[in-house]
């Protein structure tokens, strides 16, 4: 089956630093990837849609200058949380759309803790 990886799986950083999270589709090409945020016991909240070779589309209320998204290749998208603060602590999940099956497959998630 389609596999999506995320790195790192868990990161702890100091307030004010930037953190980069990678999302890779391992065995398929993905022209579209999505980034979600999830708080405990809540459903996934879509942050942005990442299309290869173009600017990401952000959902209302998501600061594009704070959450920088780059989709440089058909298998890699990155999310950089700039000047992170404790309120940015959350579980970040990416997904990739298989062009073959047109189905969204999710990564294992990255837990970000900002001290």
Partner 1 sequence: QKEVEQDPGPLSVPEGAIVSLNCTYSNSAFQYFMWYRQYSRKGPELLMYTYSSGNKEDGRFTAQVDKSSKYISLFIRDSQPSDSATYLCAMRQISSGSARQLTFGSGTQLTVLP
Residues in contact with partner 1 by the rule CB under 8 A: 4, 6, 32, 34, 41-44, 46, 49, 57, 91, 93, 95, 97, 102-109, 111
Cα–Cα distance, 115 to 106 (Å, whole number):
27
What does the radius of gyration of the chain's CA atoms come to, in whole angstroms?
Answer: 13
Please say which residue, 74 or 82, places its beta carbon nearer to partner 1: 74
Q: Cβ of residue 26: shortest distance to partner 1, in angstroms?
A: 14
| 51/82 with CB nearer partner 1 | 51
Min dist CB 83 to partner 1, Å, is 26
First to last CA, the chain: 37
Q: Is the peptide bond before 8 cis (omega within 30 degrees of 0)?
A: yes
CA distance 102 to 110: 24
Nearer to partner 1, 32 or 70 (CB): 32
């Amino acid at each position: 089956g389609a596999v999506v990886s995320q790195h790192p799986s868990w990161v702890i950083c100091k307030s004010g630093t930037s953190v980069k999270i990678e999302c890779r589709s391992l065995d398929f090409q993905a022209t579209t990837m999505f980034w979600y945020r999830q708080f405990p016991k809540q459903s996934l909240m879509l942050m942005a849609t990442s299309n290869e070779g173009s600017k990401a589309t952000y959902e209302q209320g998501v600061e594009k200058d704070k959450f920088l998204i780059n989709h440089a290749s058909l298998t890699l998208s990155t999310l950089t949380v700039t000047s992170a603060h404790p309120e940015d602590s959350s579980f970040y999940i990416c997904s990739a759309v298989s062009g073959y099956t047109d189905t969204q497959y999710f990564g294992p998630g990255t837990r970000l803790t900002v001290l």
